[in-house]
């Protein structure tokens, strides 16, 4: 009895998020992924301050050079510095990749959860998903560019207008698998005992979704996120070949990789840099996602 | 043997000892790869070069152009001229004789009835014939006798070799296509896929947009040809892969139109299995300068319609734009041995070329000086302006690795003379498509400058030069159709072009054509960049290839053979 | 479950009609011109005549109605005629491609074998490889096997086929000369030797495609297994004394299959849809290459038909996935 009446608990109360952070910190993969990701972001955004060669500056006498002190990553077929182009390309690719992935993830999870949780919405939302899955991608993108490019350019300026357009078009053409996967998981989850228990104590739908459903479908969402970044970076480059993306003198990782593919035999290092950059970004996000998932799982926490 | 000698006189005179083969089909199999796949083997319903060239293995015209651009009789017995009486003295009609003894691949005789039918087929108003322009000005096509046909024009036609000449206008068999005329044409799948022809090969299996298999035509006029018994014509993929399959892995014998960076070609050539060959027609990569105002603020009826374009109206600006370009470097980087320097719109045939070389050396300082003198002053950002007009150009082209490199280079050069450039690349099927609903077609030209390549068929540039007549400019009321892309307009030019259309005699015509060429170039409406050749590759074991840019590349496939010891 | 299936199948008809209308309108709205690939030397007036000959002058609703009739009424008759030797469809105009002026369905049928050979095999290979990798990676989370699997699959997924395809061609065709770089669609398998040749020409495209699919599938399998391995029922099963194999391969696996089934069901229609880039790189010329070629040439009847068949498969396989959910987890009920 004395113990029970003891007014001070043995340990100070900890918030749930502090626990999550502790777990995340001690996760080796997550930490490495996080550092790597930070490094990539820092180098593409702040690298240009240290390495101030213009990425579009053509030095025709110095074309097709291998790595050297003047050009650590070599130069391309017009003598443009590859390091500068990698950094400039990274700014576009990383920002497009992350934003488009987040948009697709948000749309996908939102529609997936709604469809899985509310029986009445399931039919219409899933038929909508079928429709989007069936639409041919290329004509859809062409139509979007036709309708929205000029208004967006007028409203946000050329570069930002194109950025918004690209992110939105990648986002709304790639949310469907996430939605289907999340819905499938939610369908099974909502029949579990803990959901029944939660409902019996009067949990509202909103609370139910944010507290009980979402945390439990986090792992497929995380996988979708990592795969989504890679897809978004590659799709962005596909858009530029179609003339739907950024202006042609705007380097991106996907475009650098594509341009270098023809020179694969002569200058293999030129495909190596963008290929490695894309892979590293995806890997780092993957480890981050792994760590986050583990940290959010109370059953693993503290083990 | 006598007939054969007569028939093939022209070809045989250039014969390269065909000793290695004496018998049809003795050299086995030959394989050709085109990175665009043929969709149909009826050239009159074709959608592009790939269809015309694959069909040229089967169907043949009365006369072809050889690799030098000279006309040689093919199914006709000779080339009709005023001298031999084949072309009437008033230039209003031409009479062709079909060579005697020719057989279709089904064994029946080739007659003038087939030629007449070919004209009827293409001229039918509901047929949607792709070669209709070959029959421009034709008022009637009449049979004279079983082997003779007379084409009458509605006025004097100094160049009457449109119908039945070249790969766009071969003879089709009347018996086969009789029920396919007009609106029925598209329904005749069998005829369109398996045409009966006179050429060295016969189709055995046609898979649209994929592959064609052929075998030697048993009724071909020369009993010793073709040397190959069977032929595979594969389509699809990209130029890199096609080049690789011929020059590096040796899987194919012939690859068409390898538009690749010179270094890539050089690397492939190291594979040692094949060699690239280049040929030059009149194809010119150029920058078109918009003479109308493409300002997005203008309404749809005014944008790229009203003159002038305040940025390019000053001749000094257009001149400076051209002077700032280093053409030798463009050739070196983009085309290598498949490119030549030119300052002309019509760089070939030789007789039409002016040989102007004033633009070949880059002159940035001179360009800057000229702009300074014309009153265009540099602002704080290094961009010139005058009377509130800033020299900031939009520059569009189709998506293509070489073109994007050119854009980057030219942007840099122009920035050195105080011209700012905003680049755009567009999907080729949208850019070259004529959809009036799309803002991105090359006809609409919603940009200050755009870059592409154009050429003409055959050896006569009259129709090509007609692309710069005032009333041919694309406009909303013409559904944005029309050939005058730069919207060049000069009464003097129109009058001179009219004179060309009435002048006979090659020398006199060439003189006028050169003057027309100079007028356009001097106006600065077209900035020629590179005289482009066609680069193809063939296997080191394949003999007899003569790259022809004036007709089908496969024009002399009957003479191809496998080299000894391979 | 049966009534659910029947209800969904009936509901699929209006859904598909609506999808076909949306596709049609989208294609109409998209900029493009079937004459885009005709050389510039052909004058604009001639191109206009050619467009008219394709029937482009007709109003939109008439063209849509024509397509509906041709696809849903005439094409099935052609199929019946083909199998039973009847002649219902004689004289009727079928769905005609603008590029080839020949019936679209004939070309589709011609393309199916190579697509199934290559893309289908890649899918089967990927499923066979990915599931064990996913299961074992989850069971031994953070072991070297898991780490290596993660690394390979993430790198494999982030390298696009336009690059990996060329890379394997350069290595295996150009340098080593083991496999042909160009797929022969006319090759007939009728003996052991020809089968070996078929395998040789399939190896590279299947490898490139399977790498991508394996990466995707194994990640979802692993994640889903991880979710379930720590559940209470697993502990219960172990406590009951069930063997580890039964616990993992029966109890955990069955409960982890839902996301994997979804991904596979989403992927199977794409077997039919072909693999656009991989088919292009290796010149497989299957359905994917047909579709991209038709889009570039603005061959609307072809694009419309292919996309619609694709839509039918998507609706069908998503329905199959829904039914499978109910079998995998009987608690899931739709009615």
Chains that touch C (3 or more CB pairs under 8 A): A, B
Q: Which of B240, B327, B440 to mutate to test the interface with A (most CBs of A within 10 A)?
A: B440
The pLDDT of residue B10 is 41
The pTM of this model reads: 0.84
As a whole number of angstroms, the distance between CA B235 and CA B37 comes to 4
Stretch C81-108: mean pLDDT: 81
Of A180, A265, A299, the CB nearest to C266: A180
C235 or C271, greater pLDDT: C235
DSSP-assigned states of every residue in B433-470: S--TT-TT-TTT--SSEEEEEE--SSS--HHHHGGG-G
The pLDDT of residue B3 is 45
Both tokens assigned to A83: 């390091």
What's the number of domains chain B is made of? 1
Mean pLDDT score of chain B: 87
Both tokens assigned to C28: 């109409």
Nearest alpha carbon to residue A225 among A60, A103, A141: A103
Residues from chain C contacting residue B235 (CB–CB below 8 Å): 285
pLDDT band at B22 (very low <50, low <70, confident <90, very high): low
Stretch B510-532: mean pLDDT: 92
**CATH number of B460's domain:** 3.10.105.10
> Is cis: bond before B349, omega within 30 of 0?
yes
Taking the Cβ of residue C292 and every Cβ of chain B, the question of whether any pair is shorter than 8 Å is answered with no
DSSP-assigned states of every residue in B256-303: ------HHHHHHHHTT-SEEEEEEEEEEEEEEEEPSS---TTS-TTTT
Q: Which of A162, A248, A263 to mutate to test the interface with B (most CBs of B within 10 A)?
A: A248
- Is A242 in Cβ contact with B427 (below 8 Å)? yes
Give the CA distances from residue B168 to residues B48, B125, B383, B464, B550, in Å, rounded to whole numbers and listed in that order: 10, 18, 48, 16, 11
Taking the Cβ of residue B398 and every Cβ of chain A, the question of whether any pair is shorter than 8 Å is answered with yes
Question: Within a domain: residue B229?
Answer: no
pLDDT band at B127 (very low <50, low <70, confident <90, very high): confident
Taking the Cβ of residue A137 and every Cβ of chain B, the question of whether any pair is shorter than 8 Å is answered with no
Q: How far is CA C93 from the centre of its chain?
A: 29
Question: Within a domain: residue B203?
Answer: no
Stretch B197-224: mean pLDDT: 90
Question: Within a domain: residue B451?
Answer: yes
- Is B183 in Cβ contact with C53 (below 8 Å)? yes
Question: Within a domain: residue B436?
Answer: yes
Beta pairing, strands B29-34 & B254-255 = parallel
The pLDDT of residue B113 is 92
Give the range among A143-147, B160-164, B277-281 with minimum mean pLDDT.
Answer: A143-147
Q: Which residue has the tokens 């069971």?
A: C139
The pLDDT of residue B16 is 44
Beta pairing, strands B230-235 & B29-34 = parallel
Distance (Å) from the C-alpha of residue C131 to the closest C-alpha of chain B?
33
Both tokens assigned to B458: 């055959």
Taking the Cβ of residue A134 and every Cβ of chain C, the question of whether any pair is shorter than 8 Å is answered with yes
Is pLDDT of B2 > 80? Answer: no
As a whole number of angstroms, the distance between CA B282 and CA B339 comes to 11
Question: Within a domain: residue B442?
Answer: yes
What are the backbone dihedrals phi and psi of residue B452, each rounded to the nearest 5 degrees, phi first?
-165, -175
Of C181, C186, C297, the CB nearest to B429: C297
Question: Within a domain: residue B443?
Answer: yes
The pLDDT of residue A6 is 55
As a whole number of angstroms, the distance between CA B460 and CA B468 comes to 16
Which element (helix H / strand E) includes A224? helix A218-241
Question: Within a domain: residue B153?
Answer: no
pLDDT band at C59 (very low <50, low <70, confident <90, very high): confident
- Is C186 in Cβ contact with B232 (below 8 Å)? yes
The pLDDT of residue B17 is 44
- Is A58 in Cβ contact with B424 (below 8 Å)? no
Residues from chain B contacting residue A244 (CB–CB below 8 Å): 427
Asked if residues B381 and B411 have their Cβ atoms less than 8 Å apart, the reply is no
Taking the Cβ of residue A262 and every Cβ of chain B, the question of whether any pair is shorter than 8 Å is answered with yes
Stretch C247-269: mean pLDDT: 88
The pLDDT of residue B56 is 92
Dihedral angle sign, alpha carbons of residues A203, A205, A207, A212: positive
Stretch B307-314: mean pLDDT: 88
- Is C45 in Cβ contact with B187 (below 8 Å)? no
The residues facing C96 across adjacent strands are C103
> B484: helix, coil or strand?
coil
- Indicate the DSSP class of residue B563: P
Residue range(s) defining the domain that contains residue B502: 282-533
Taking the Cβ of residue B187 and every Cβ of chain C, the question of whether any pair is shorter than 8 Å is answered with yes
Across chain A, which has 303 residues, the per-10-residue mean pLDDT values are 53 73 79 89 88 82 82 85 89 91 94 92 91 86 82 81 89 91 90 88 89 86 87 82 77 87 84 88 86 74 49
- Is A243 in Cβ contact with B398 (below 8 Å)? yes
The pLDDT of residue B14 is 42
Question: Within a domain: residue B179?
Answer: no
> A6: helix, coil or strand?
coil
Write out pLDDT tens, residues B73-99: 999 999 998 888 889 988 899 999 999
């Amino acid at each position: 009895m004395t113990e029970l009446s003891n007014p001070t608990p043995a340990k100070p109360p900890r918030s749930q998020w502090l626990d999550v952070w502790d777990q995340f910190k001690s996760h080796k993969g997550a930490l490495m992924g996080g550092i790597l990701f930070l490094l990539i972001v820092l180098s593409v955004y702040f690298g240009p301050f240290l390495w101030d060669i213009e990425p579009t500056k053509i030095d025709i006498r110095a074309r097709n050079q291998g790595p050297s002190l003047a050009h650590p990553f070599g130069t391309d077929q017009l003598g443009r510095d590859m390091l500068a182009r990698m950094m400039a390309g990274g700014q576009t690719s990383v920002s497009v990749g992350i934003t488009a992935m987040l948009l697709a993830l948000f749309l996908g999870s939102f529609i997936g959860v709604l469809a899985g949780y509310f029986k009445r919405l399931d039919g219409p939302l899933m038929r909508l998903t079928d429709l989007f899955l069936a639409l041919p991608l290329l004509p859809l993108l062409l139509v979007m560019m036709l309708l929205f490019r000029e208004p967006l350019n007028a409203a946000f300026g050329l570069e930002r207008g194109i950025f918004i357009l690209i992110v939105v078009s990648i986002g709304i053409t790639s949310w469907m698998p996430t939605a289907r996967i999340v819905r499938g998981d939610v369908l099974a989850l909502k029949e579990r005992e803990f959901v029944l228990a939660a409902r019996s104590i009067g949990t509202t739908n909103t609370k139910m979704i944010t507290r009980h459903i979402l945390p439990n479908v986090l792992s497929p969402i995380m996988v979708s996120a990592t795969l989504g970044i890679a897809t978004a970076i590659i799709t962005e480059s596909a858009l530029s070949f179609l003339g739907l993306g950024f202006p042609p003198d705007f380097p991106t990782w996907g475009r650098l990789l594509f341009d270098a593919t023809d020179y694969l035999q002569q200058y293999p290092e030129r495909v190596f840099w963008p290929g490695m950059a894309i892979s590293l970004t995806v890997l780092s996000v993957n480890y981050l996602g792994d760590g986050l998932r583990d940290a959010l799982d109370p059953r693993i926490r503290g083990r | 043997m006598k007939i054969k000698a007569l028939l093939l006189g022209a070809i045989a005179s250039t014969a390269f000892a065909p000793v290695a083969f004496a018998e049809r089909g003795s050299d086995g199999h030959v394989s050709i790869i085109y990175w665009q796949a043929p969709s149909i083997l009826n050239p009159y319903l074709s959608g592009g070069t790939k269809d015309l060239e694959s069909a040229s293995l089967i169907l043949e015209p009365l006369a072809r152009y050889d690799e030098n651009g000279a006309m040689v009789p093919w199914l006709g017995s000779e080339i009709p001229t005023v001298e031999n009486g084949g072309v009437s003295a008033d230039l209003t009609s031409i009479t062709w004789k079909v060579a005697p003894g020719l057989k279709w691949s089904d064994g029946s005789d080739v007659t003038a009835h087939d030629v007449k039918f070919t004209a009827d087929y293409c001229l039918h108003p509901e047929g949607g014939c792709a070669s209709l322009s070959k029959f421009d000005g034709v008022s009637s096509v009449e049979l004279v006798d079983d082997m003779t046909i007379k084409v009458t024009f509605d006025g004097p036609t100094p160049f009457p070799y449109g119908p039945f000449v070249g790969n766009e206008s071969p003879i089709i068999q009347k018996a086969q296509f009789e029920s396919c005329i007009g609106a029925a044409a598209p329904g005749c799948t069998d005829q369109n896929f398996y045409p009966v022809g006179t050429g060295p090969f016969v189709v055995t299996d046609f898979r649209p947009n994929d592959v064609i298999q052929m075998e030697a035509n048993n009724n071909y006029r020369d009993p010793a040809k073709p040397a190959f018994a069977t032929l595979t014509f594969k389509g699809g993929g990209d130029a890199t892969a096609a080049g690789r399959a011929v020059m590096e892995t040796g899987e194919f014998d012939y690859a068409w139109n390898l538009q690749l960076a010179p270094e890539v070609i050089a690397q492939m050539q190291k594979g040692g299995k094949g060699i690239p060959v280049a040929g030059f027609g009149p194809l010119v990569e150029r920058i078109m300068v918009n003479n109308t105002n493409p300002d997005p603020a203008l309404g749809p009826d005014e944008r790229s319609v009203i003159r002038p374009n305040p940025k390019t109206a000053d001749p000094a600006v257009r001149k400076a734009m051209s002077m700032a370009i280093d053409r030798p470097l463009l050739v070196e980087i983009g085309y290598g041995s498949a490119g030549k320097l030119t300052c002309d719109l019509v760089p070939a045939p030789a007789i039409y070329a002016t040989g102007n070389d004033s633009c070949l050396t880059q002159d940035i300082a001179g360009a800057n000086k000229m702009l300074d003198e014309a009153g265009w002053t540099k602002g704080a950002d290094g961009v010139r302006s005058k009377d509130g007009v800033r020299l900031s150009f939009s520059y569009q082209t189709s998506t293509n690795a070489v073109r994007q490199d050119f854009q980057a280079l030219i942007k840099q050069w122009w920035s050195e003379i105080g011209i700012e450039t905003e680049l755009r690349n567009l999907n080729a099927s949208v850019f070259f498509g004529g959809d009036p609903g799309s803002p991105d077609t090359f006809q609409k030209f919603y940009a200050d400058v755009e870059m592409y390549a154009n050429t003409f068929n055959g050896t006569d540039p009259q129709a090509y030069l007609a692309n710069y007549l005032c009333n041919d400019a694309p406009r909303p009321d013409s559904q944005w159709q029309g050939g005058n892309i730069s919207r060049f307009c000069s009464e003097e030019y129109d009058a001179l072009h009219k004179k060309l259309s009435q002048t006979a005699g090659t020398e006199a015509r060439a003189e006028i054509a050169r003057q027309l060429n100079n007028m356009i170039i001097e106006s600065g409406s077209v900035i020629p960049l590179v005289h482009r050749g066609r680069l193809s590759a063939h296997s080191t074991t394949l003999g007899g290839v003569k790259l022809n840019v004036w007709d089908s590349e496969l024009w002399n496939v009957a003479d191809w053979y496998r080299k000894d010891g391979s | 479950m049966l009534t659910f299936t029947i209800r969904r199948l009936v509901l699929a008809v209006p859904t598909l009609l609506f999808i076909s209308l949306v596709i049609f309108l989208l294609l109409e709205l998209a900029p493009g011109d079937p004459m885009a690939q005709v050389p510039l030397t052909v004058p604009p007036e001639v191109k206009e005549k050619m467009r008219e000959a394709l029937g482009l002058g007709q109003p939109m609703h008439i063209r849509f109605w024509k397509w509906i009739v041709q696809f849903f009424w005439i094409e099935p008759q052609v199929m019946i005629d083909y199998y039973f030797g009847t002649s219902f469809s004689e004289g009727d105009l079928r769905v005609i491609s603008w590029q080839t002026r020949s019936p679209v369905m004939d070309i589709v049928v011609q393309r199916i074998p190579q697509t199934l050979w290559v893309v289908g095999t890649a899918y089967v290979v990927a499923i066979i490889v990915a599931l064990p990798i996913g299961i074992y990676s989850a069971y031994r989370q953070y072991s070297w096997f898991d780490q290596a699997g993660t690394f390979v699959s993430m790198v494999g997924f982030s390298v696009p086929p336009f690059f990996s395809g060329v890379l394997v061609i350069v290595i295996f065709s150009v340098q080593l000369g083991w496999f042909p770089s160009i797929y022969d669609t006319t090759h007939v398998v009728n003996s052991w030797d020809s089968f070996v040749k078929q395998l040789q020409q399939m190896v590279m495209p299947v490898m490139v495609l399977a790498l991508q699919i394996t990466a995707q599938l194994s990640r979802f399998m692993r994640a889903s297994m991880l979710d379930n391995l720590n559940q209470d029922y697993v502990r219960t099963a172990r406590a009951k004394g069930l063997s580890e194999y039964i616990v993992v391969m029966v109890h955990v696996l069955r409960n982890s299959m839902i996301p994997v089934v979804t991904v596979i069901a989403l992927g199977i229609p794409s077997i039919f849809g072909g693999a656009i880039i991989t088919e292009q790189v290796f010149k497989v010329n299957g359905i994917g290459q047909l579709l991209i070629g038709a889009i570039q040439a603005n061959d609307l009847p072809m694009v419309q038909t292919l996309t619609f068949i694709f839509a039918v498969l998507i609706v069908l396989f998503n329905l199959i996935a829904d039914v499978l959910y109910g079998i995998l987890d009987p608690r899931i009920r739709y009615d």
